[in-house]
Amino acid sequence: MRLPHLLAMICALSSSLCSMAYAATIEIPRPYVVYLQDGKTAKSSALNAERKVNLSAGAHQLVIRFDGSFKDQSENRLLSGEPVVINLDLKGDEALAIQFAYPRNYRAAEQFIAQQKLTFIDTKTGAPVAIDHFVMPKKEGLQIGRDYQAELLAMGKGFQQVPAELAMATTAAMAAAAVPDAKGNAQGTVDKNVQTLEMLKYWYTQADAETRKNFQHWIISQQ
């Protein structure tokens, strides 16, 4: 096989794999900026030239913030809103976009960020889509270098964070199972339970939202 043909095949395969890995998109309109993606600081390249974030199939969490400059009488003033947390559970072929009434001046922008009413649509059909999202609580006083991930973890709403009640119930169950038997097999039981716990955590993070909800109800009902 000639080298040019081989290179062409490699490029085609690479393009195909990339499109499979990032088949879903969500468009983030100005002046929103992506701060966190899946619990980590978003890279500067998170938004492409079309202001779209490419995402693979599965669970994702984005934290975006309204950061814009708006005219107030004769001058432009900067304005920021509280972060918006978006939780996604993607099949892998979605094309989503955020829509809102763009404020034309500083006063209108102030009114908008008080509630931040966002609509999510399927750009393929134009139909609205129900997406789990919420505005983070307002932090009073001077805010320098807020750690949004730490705040979300403290709220129990971090990316793929196991709910506190589920973690407590699981830990209690594992501790009870580790009680030594008459033959003193406690250590072997503990090691096995640790492995089981790690497997439970893994499968929990891999499950979709509905499966996680059902599992939470089941584990709590076992207490």
Q: How far apart are CA 41 and CA 217, in angstroms?
A: 32
Q: Is the dihedral of CA 113, 129, 25, 153 positive or negative?
A: positive
Cβ pair 117, 102 in contact under 8 A: no
Cβ pair 200, 177 in contact under 8 A: no
| Burial status of residue 111 (CB atoms within 10 A of its CB: 0-12, 13-18, 19 or more) | exposed
Bridge partners (DSSP) listed for residue 133: 86
Cβ pair 131, 62 in contact under 8 A: no
Q: How far apart are CA 189 and CA 211, in angstroms?
A: 28
The predicted pLDDT at position 47 comes to 87
pLDDT over 70, % of the chain: 61
Q: What are phi and psi of 10, to 5 degrees?
A: -65, -45
Q: How far apart are CA 68 and CA 191, in angstroms?
A: 53
Least confident of 20-24, 31-35, 71-75, 96-100: 20-24
Q: DSSP of the chain, one letter per residue? A: --HHHHHHHHHHHHHHHHHHHT-EEEE--TTEEEEEETTEEPPTTSS-TTSEEEE-SEEEEEEEEEEEEEEETTEEEEEE---EEEEEEE-S--EEEEE----SSHHHHHHHHTT---EEEETTT--B---EEEEPPPPPS--SS--HHHHHHHHT-STTPPPHHHHHHHHHHHHHHTS--TT--HHHHHHHHHHHHHHHHHHHHHS-HHHHHHHHHHHHHT-
Residue 177 has pLDDT above 80, yes or no: no
The predicted pLDDT at position 167 comes to 52
- Please state the rounded mean pLDDT for residues 184-202: 61
Whether the full predicted model's pTM is greater than 0.95, yes or no, is no
Amino acid letter for position 122? D
pLDDT in tens, 64-122: 999 999 999 889 999 999 999 999 999 989 999 999 999 999 999 999 999 999 999 99
